[in-house]
Structure 1
Amino acid sequence: MKPLLIVQTGSAPEPICARLGDFPHWFRLALGVHPRRLRVVRVDRDEALPPPRMCAGAVITGSAAMVTERLPWSERTAGWIRDAMDAALPLLGVCYGHQLMAHALGGRVDWLPGGREIGTQRLELLPGAADDPLARALPPVFRAHTTHEQSVLEPPAGARVLARSARDPHQMLRYGERAFSTQFHPEFSAQAMAAYIRRRAAKLREEGLDVPRLLREVGPTPHARRLLEVTGSDWAGAAA
């Protein structure tokens, strides 16, 4: 049985990991798969990725790194993404993974105009997204957790924009039939989102953000999480 691959590009801050676990744990719970079905590769520690044909699907996680740094491990992973697309491997990129997929496939990633987006945001589907097989799991307006300073400023040619926030017009992208990415974090719980805001509270105040308001607005995001439930179910069938 082919494994589901977690391409880990970074970790949650250590105090958050100690209480809530790290990214692979969050994705496993949201995807609804058994630990034995997963293979985690720490590309940020120069671990080698398997050939795409050896996997049932792959999630590319978030990271504290920046895609514009063009780090060697990140550029190698971008090359692997191109190979995975050629092999029609099901792919999901989240936050850094979203940006890295766009970069790998010819889009442009840079700093989000106006500064950081963080907290539980109101997102909306774009007109025409209702016929997308994954976007059908979402209502026209839904809430999702975000924390990022860079974003996809220009999607790759042929990519379809499915959802936006008030600050970021490219919150969810579709790349062909079997690959998509989200700037928002469907794997985050409300507890994780609040922990990120509290940990960065001093920096957020320096940036002029209202930390108490951000914390008040944190809440469940069941529709965003539903994307991972649907993805895990679909990929489980492909793993056989």
Structure 2
Amino acid sequence: MKSLYIIKAGSTFATEVERLGDFEEWVRRGLGDMPCPVAVVNAEAGEALPAPERCAGVVVTGSHAMVTDNLPWSVAIERWIGELIAVRAPFLGICYGHQLLGRAAGGEVGYHPQGREAGTVAIELTPEGQRDALFDGIPPRFAVHATHSQSVLRLPDGALRLACNSFEPNHAFRVGESAWGVQFHPEYTREIMAAYLQEGRAGSGASRKGSGVLGETPLAGRVLTNFASFVSRTL
């Protein structure tokens, strides 16, 4: 039987892992019950990526790395995403994974010209987003948790923009019929977002934009359950 693979592209702060868990745990919890096995591949640590034909679906997590650093493990994921697109394997990239999808499909990734977006922010679905399966049951405007310095600056040719806000024009997009990227974090809880805001305040003092506000995101998690439902329908 095929498996759904969570590709671990990094870890949260070492000081918070025991209290909050880590990226792959947050994603697994958000997906809910799955009718297929769920496996974690620690790509950042050099674990081998599965053959695309073995993938019922794939979620690539966020990372504290930067896509433009072109780290060997990151470039390997990016190339592999192209293979997943070719076989139409259901794919969801979150934050870093979203940016890797953007580059793998021919878009451009780099530092956001206005700095970092961090906090609980509102995003709006485009008309295409309102019709998209990933956002089923979600209203046109809803709150999400976000923290990123890099963005998909230019979408791949033919990609559909699905969500945006005044700071980030490419908060979500789709390539083909089954590959999605979301710049925000549907797997974050309020507590996780609070930890990232605290670490940001204690950081280097680099330019930080975005709201810096901490709030609830009661609808954002549906992105993960909707993706899980999509995977289930393709089995």
User: What TM-score, normalized by structure 1, do the two folds share?
Assistant: 0.92
Give the conservation status (yes or no) of the 8 Å contact 2:60–2:92: yes
Task: Give the letter for the 1:234 counterpart.
Answer: F
Identity of aligned residues (%): 43
In structure 2, the residue matched to 1:58 is 58
Give the secondary-structure state (helix, strand or coil) at the position aligned to 1:79: helix
Q: Cα RMSD over matched residues?
A: 2.0
Give the conservation status (yes or no) of the 8 Å contact 1:137–1:227: no
In structure 1, the residue matched to 2:164 is 164
Give the conservation status (yes or no) of the 8 Å contact 1:60–1:93: yes
Give the conservation status (yes or no) of the 8 Å contact 2:105–2:175: no
The runs of 4+ residues in structure 1 deviating greater than 4 Å are none
Tell me how far 1:209 sits from its aligned partner.
6.3
In structure 2, the residue matched to 1:9 is 9
Which whole-Å CA distance do the structure 1 matches of 2:66 and 2:226 have between them? 29
Task: Give the letter for the 2:177 counterpart.
Answer: E
Which whole-Å CA distance do the structure 2 matches of 1:75 and 1:181 have between them? 17
The structure-2 alpha-carbon separation of the partners of 1:235 and 1:128, relative to structure 1 and needing over 3 Å to count, comes to closer
Tell me how far 1:15 sits from its aligned partner.
1.6
Which digits, 9 at most, give the CA deviation of each residue in 1:15-62, with x for residues without a partner?
Answer: 22110100111011110036x821111111111101011111000110
Which digits, 9 at most, give the CA deviation of each residue in 1:83-132, with x for residues without a partner?
Answer: 01111100000000000010111000000111110000010112343222
In structure 1, the residue matched to 2:230 is 234
Which whole-Å CA distance do the structure 2 matches of 1:188 and 1:29 have between them? 10
Give the secondary-structure state (helix, strand or coil) at the position aligned to 1:224: coil
Alignment of 1:1-240 (within 5 A): 1-33=1-33, 37-203=37-203, 207=207, 214=212, 217-239=213-235
Which whole-Å CA distance do the structure 2 matches of 1:157 and 1:53 have between them? 25
Task: Give the letter for the 1:180 counterpart.
Answer: W
Which whole-Å CA distance do the structure 1 matches of 2:144 and 2:121 have between them? 5
Unaligned runs of 5+ in 1: none
Which whole-Å CA distance do the structure 2 matches of 1:205 and 1:142 have between them? 29
Which whole-Å CA distance do the structure 2 matches of 1:173 and 1:231 have between them? 14
Tell me how far 1:204 sits from its aligned partner.
7.3
Task: Give the letter for the 2:71 counterpart.
Answer: L
Which digits, 9 at most, give the CA deviation of each residue in 1:58-84, with x for residues without a partner?
Answer: 001100111111111111111110001
Give the conservation status (yes or no) of the 8 Å contact 1:61–1:95: yes
Give the conservation status (yes or no) of the 8 Å contact 1:144–1:224: yes
Give the conservation status (yes or no) of the 8 Å contact 2:115–2:208: no
Give the secondary-structure state (helix, strand or coil) at the position aligned to 1:41: strand
Instruction: Write 1 or 2 for the structure with the bigger share of helix.
Output: 1
Which digits, 9 at most, give the CA deviation of each residue in 1:138-190, with x for residues without a partner?
Answer: 21110000000000000000110010122110000011111111000000001
The structure-2 alpha-carbon separation of the partners of 1:204 and 1:152, relative to structure 1 and needing over 3 Å to count, comes to same
